Amino acid sequence: MIYFVRRFAVFLLTLWAAITLNFIIPRLQPGDPAERIVRRLNPNSRTVDPNQVEAVRKMLGLPDTNIFEQYLQYLQTLVRGEFGVSYSYFPFTVTHMIGQTLPWTLVLGAVTLFIGFVVGTLLGAWAAWRRNGPFDSVTTLGATFLGTLPSFWIALLLLYVCAFKWGWFPVGGGYSGDAQPGWNWAFISSAFEHSVLPAVSILLFAPIGWILGMRNNMVTILGDDYTRLAKAKGLSERRIALWYGARVAVLPNVAGLALAVGGILGGSVVIEQIFSYPGMGRLLFEALRDGDYPLMQTVFLFIIIGVLLADLVADFLYGVLDPRVRRGG
């Protein structure tokens, strides 16, 4: 119990630190964001109209109070989920933009992650159980080889061959323009069709880590004394493989899975960019390119919270699954 309470306290502390850093860093940057916007709105004029700047400042809700009040306000807006107006998608709010993109990334990321995890762990466990057999050799070698290929290159290749050359799948985007987003068949099938290529390019690589991790853990554990003792006890092969081998070997993988969930947002940038997928990774990329600070800041905040939450879940899971951690900590 102590273990869980302590972990939670650590989580809150790190979260607070991250949020505060997120507040401080943009304010360390030189220049006035309102002025920057005005410059972007009139790229041809060399001077800036102070009235216009003031107007933009009002509109963006940029504060001129002191830093502590700003911090308090910032915390309040966080709680209420108001992250201000996006510079580059003006007049849309940051919240709106994130609401638009987050589901895309989460669905694609979560589904592929989960499939990759299950497939990878199963393959790894089977390879370890039949270690040094043909299945093991093929799986291990195959996974290692795939792992050496650059994933974005494979994604581009898929895009070129399957979309441009053969036209089997759409070239990019999340759904075709004639479908109405919502719970209707036209939209869902279109979204599915659009997600096939990105999903395949992720899934080609996703299981590799799980396969190798699971296989190596389990091979070690199968050589451990308690697995040998399980054999000496005359337990069935299945029980040994599952309860003595896989049950212990999967622990690091489960913790890894929780961490990977936290990494979904941050890890989606390249693939979404390649397939022009309307997710948060692409949003982040554009925010970076356009110097859209409120958007950037918020996306980063989401990524940080995601990672921290995942970390917390990983530790909790570990605590539940591994009695050594629970009481030791």
Partner 1 sequence: MSLLAVDQLDVTYLTRKRPPVQAVRGVSLTIGPGEFVGLVGESGSGKSTLGNATIRLLSRPGEITGGTVSFNGQDITALGEDRLRPMRWRDISTVFQSSMNSLNPVMPIEAQFRDAIQAHSRASNGQVRKRVAELLTMVDIDPSFMRFYPHELSGGMKQRVALALALALEPKFVLLDEPTTGLDVVVQRAILERLRVIQREQEFAVLLISHDLGSVLEFSDRVLVMYAGEIVEEQAAADMLRHPRHPYSRGLLGSYASPTAKTIAITYIPGRPPDLSKPHQGCLFAPRCVDAIPLCRMKAPELLPLGDGLVACHVAKMRAEAGQLPEQQGRSWRTQAAGAVFTKHTVAKDPTGAEDILRFEGVSKLYTRRRGFKTTLVQAVDDVSFVLSKGHVTALVGQSGSGKSTIAKLVTGIERPDSGEISFGDLRVDRLGRRGLRDFRKHIQMVFQDPYSALNPAHTVLSTLMRPLINHKGMSRGQAQSRALELLETVGLTPPERFGQRHPHQLSGGQRQRIVIARALAPEPAIIIADEPISSLDVSIRAEILELLDGLVREQGIAMLYITHDLLSARLLADDIIVLNEGKVVEAGRAEDVIANPQHAYTQLLLRSIPNPFVEETAAD
Which CB, 159 or 251, lies closer to partner 1?
Answer: 251
Quote the least distance from Cβ 234 to partner 1, whole Å: 3
Cβ-based nearer residue to partner 1, 102 or 325: 325
- CA torsion sign for 255, 257, 261, 267 is positive
Please, what is the minimum distance in Å from the beta carbon of residue 252 to partner 1? 13
**Count of CB atoms within 10 A of residue 119's CB?**
15
Q: Of 241 and 296, which CB lies nearer to partner 1 in the complex structure?
A: 241
Collapsing DSSP states into helix, strand and coil, what is residue 272? helix
The distance of closest approach from Cβ of residue 126 to partner 1 in the complex, given in angstroms and rounded to an integer, is 18
- The rounded distance, in Å, linking the Cα atoms of 137 and 130 is 10
Q: Which is nearer to partner 1, 178 or 225 (CB)?
A: 225
What gap in Å lies between CA 309 and CA 7, rounded to an integer?
A: 11
Residues found near partner 1 in the complex (CB under 8 A): 1-2, 223-226, 228-237, 239, 243-244, 247-248, 251, 321-324, 327-328
* Least CB distance to partner 1 at residue 297 (A): 40
Q: Toward partner 1, which CB reaches closer, 35 or 322?
A: 322
Residues, the chain? 329
Q: Nearest approach, Cβ of 286 to partner 1 (angstroms)? A: 46
| DSSP codes joined into one string, 137-194 | HHHHHHHHHHHHS-HHHHHHHHIIIIIIIS-SS-SSSSS-TTSPSSS-HHHHHHHHHH
Please choose, from the candidates 308, 220, 230, the residue with its C-alpha nearest in 3D space to the C-alpha of residue 262: 308
